[in-house]
Structure 1
Amino acid sequence: MSEIRKVPASAGAEWLLTGFGLLKRAPLALGSLGILWGVGTWLVLSLSMLVPLLGTAVQFLLLLAGPLFMGGLLWAIREVDQGRIARPSHLLQGIQEGRAPHLLIALLPQLVAALLLGTLLLVLVGTAGLQQLSEVMLKLNEISQSGAQPDPAQIEALVATLPAGRILLWLLLLLGTFAALTLALFVMPPQVMFEGRTGFHALRESLRASLHNLPAMLVFFVLAFIAIFAIYFAVMIVALIIGLIAGQAAAMAVAQLVLMAVLMPVFAGSVYAAWKQMLAPAGTGTPPPATAGHVIEV
């Protein structure tokens, strides 16, 4: 097994700062890769809407492309980190040298989790409970769209008809499964891209490294959530201005592309920084573990 290094909780903040720092070093090169990813996604979804018969197949291809594009983006991130130029062709690095099957292993635990959660939902709530939940959601939607003041007693009566305890239990299982998937997938792609590890081994090591450094992971995701909210708020302000000039359709398209240009490189850079500190072999330029003093200085 790989050596897993222990890092302080403040390392989570440094990962995020590293992601922003790498984007700042090559904003056009890395931002354009995020835009290419966004444009490709938009074209695929548009095709599925224009040709409904191809909808399922096209969306499945889009699902397969996700891990491959992330691998390519990580490769571009490393190029920038080592002083080289990130190029659009780097997005295809995930399908070279036999990496694609191992990157696609990332989809397997997600598929298993979806099947397991779907089965648990049927077992815990049942078909009758799901039908009742659907009816309650439709009634609540009708109340909200009517514009009338909601009657608390009516809403309480609607909710009282649901198996609330079993639904809450399923939601807790959903939250736990999502957390486990996040830990298992967090530093899985850089192991495949840069260490040549198999997909299953990379999943296991990612889960071990994330659990071993859980405080740093928690700090990172809390700060990442705050950063995403701030970026989204800023982008929406820009979109409102564009909407007044060019219309809402153009504003939403620009907003989505800007978000992809910023969020994807920053997230990939953060994952790359976490891998370097926790798992990267000696000789790959692994930085020393972060200290609280470094974060305060930043």
Structure 2
Amino acid sequence: MDVRKVPATAGAEWLLGGFMLLRRSPGGFGLLALSYAALWLTVNGLAQAVPALLAPLQLTFFLIGPLLLAGMIFAAREVDEGRSAAPAHLLAALRTGKAARLVSTVLPQLALMVLCAILLFVVVGAEHIENLLKLFTKLQAQAESQIPVDPSEFANIPFGRLFVWMLLVFGVGLAAFLFTFTLVPDMLFTDTRLVQGMARCFRVCSANLGALVVFLVLGFVVVMAIGFGFVLFSQIAMLIAGQTGLLLANAAFNGLMTVFASGVMYFAWKQLLGDGSPAPQSPSASTGIEV
């Protein structure tokens, strides 16, 4: 594979492309976000109603996550090519016969979680972890009983070790990002398999670190801005409907961010590994909501 290089400004174009897609088909992507939010709410509702189902439900949602993301990425390409986004696109991985290979993309995530857990035990230590778990359980019980928290409870927390662990996790996460950023769209739109896709992603990402830095910095700003808006929205929702309103606001935020991320990943893949066209600089003319 010839390594394709893009200018550093491409990182900003990927984010812009995600916003442009939302503007071109707000109705279609809105339905996709609502579908994701409804599924998220269903999983959380069932887990709260039947606690014994918590682990199986979380595992199921974890496994189908790449399929939902692939469906939204498929919808992003449809809108980019002048068609419409629709909830049926969530089944794109099944309809294209690539569900199994896309589910395999959870393996790098599992490896990352295992590595972070190992680092936690190595850096923080088993004894400190056990004490932290006991403290968390105690604080949770006090919160439910509305008992004031004693500040001395935090005296033995190894903040220094936890900070070092978080720095290591951040570094490991950035390294994993180089292997997985374009993985899902590459496996969806081509015949690429997991190991080959990770290798392709690493080669093209490591050759375009400037664009990735711009993307990560601007992406952090965008996420913080959207997150701040949703904090205000969630507070209003909680005042109106209590915990139910907060749950609905969180579901909406998850749905919106997943839809937006799918568009960004599509444009990044398109420039780095696809046909190489740049992300759109302005929205196409539209006469209304496209569904």
Normalization by structure 1: what TM-score? 0.81
CA distance in 2, matches of 1:58, 1:174: 26
Counterpart contact for 1:3–1:279, Cα < 8 Å: no
Cα gap change, 1:140/1:249 in structure 2, threshold over 3 Å: closer, same or farther? Answer: closer
Distance 1:220 1:269 in 2: 14
Give the Cα separation in 1 of the matches to 2:148 and 2:159: 26
SS at match of 1:3: coil
Amino acid at match of 2:172: T
Partner-residue secondary structure (3-state), 2:156: helix
Q: How far is 1:53 from its partner?
A: 2.7
Give the Cα–Cα distance (whole angstroms) in 2 for the partners of residues 125 and 265 of structure 1. Answer: 36
Aligned to 1:279: 273
**Aligned-pair distance for 1:54?**
2.4
Q: Distance in 2 between matches of 1:133 and 1:247?
A: 33
Q: Structure 1 counterpart of 2:33, which letter?
A: G
Is 1:197–2:180 an aligned residue pair? no
Measure the CA separation in 1 of the matches of 2:188 and 2:198: 13
| Cα pair distance change 1:257/1:11, threshold 3 Å | same
Number of the residue aligned with 2:22: 23
Q: Map 1:47-126 onto structure 2 (within 5 A).
A: 47-126=46-125
CA distance 1:114–1:219, shift in 2 (3 Å): same
Q: CA deviation at 1:169?
A: 4.2
Q: Which runs of 5+ in 2 are unaligned?
A: 283-291
Aligned residues: 278
Q: Which amino acid aligns with 2:221?
A: I
Which residue is 2:285 aligned to?
Answer: none
| C-alpha distance after superposition, 1:30-54 (max 9, x if no partner) | 1210110111011022112222332
The AA in structure 2 aligned to 1:264 is T
- 8 Å contact from structure 2 (residues 17, 279) kept in 1: no
Listed as ranges, the matches of 1:191-270 within 5 Å are 191-244=186-239, 246-270=240-264
Change over 3 Å in CA distance of 1:123–1:226 after alignment to 2: closer
Question: Secondary structure of 1:84's match?
Answer: coil
1:70-92 Cα deviation digits (max 9, x unpaired): 01100011000001111211101
Evaluate the alpha carbon distance shift between residue 58 and residue 132 of structure 1 in structure 2; reply closer, same or farther with a 3 A threshold.
closer
Over 3 Å counting, the alpha-carbon distance change for 1:95 and 1:119 in structure 2 is same
Q: Distance in 1 between matches of 2:118 and 2:230?
A: 39
Larger radius of gyration: 1
Q: State the partner residue of 1:37.
A: 36
The answer for the alignment partner of 2:130 in structure 1 is: 131
- 1:115-134 alpha-carbon deviations (Å, 9 max, x no partner): 23323333444322323455
Write the letter of the residue equivalent to 1:279.
L
TM-score with structure 2 length normalisation?
0.83
Measure how far apart 1:163 and its partner are. Answer: 8.6
Structure 1 distance, partners of 2:99, 2:193, is: 10
Q: In structure 2, give the amino acid aligned to 1:188.
A: L
Unaligned runs of 5+ in 1: none
Residue 135 of structure 1 and its aligned partner are, at CA, apart by 6.1
CA distance 1:255–1:176, change in 2 (3 Å): same
**Farther-moved stretch of structure 1 (271-280 vs 232-241):** 232-241
Letter in structure 1 aligned against 2:252: V
Q: Percent identity?
A: 34
**Compared with structure 1, are the counterparts of its residues 95 and 147 closer, same or farther at alpha carbon in structure 2 (3 Å cutoff)?**
same
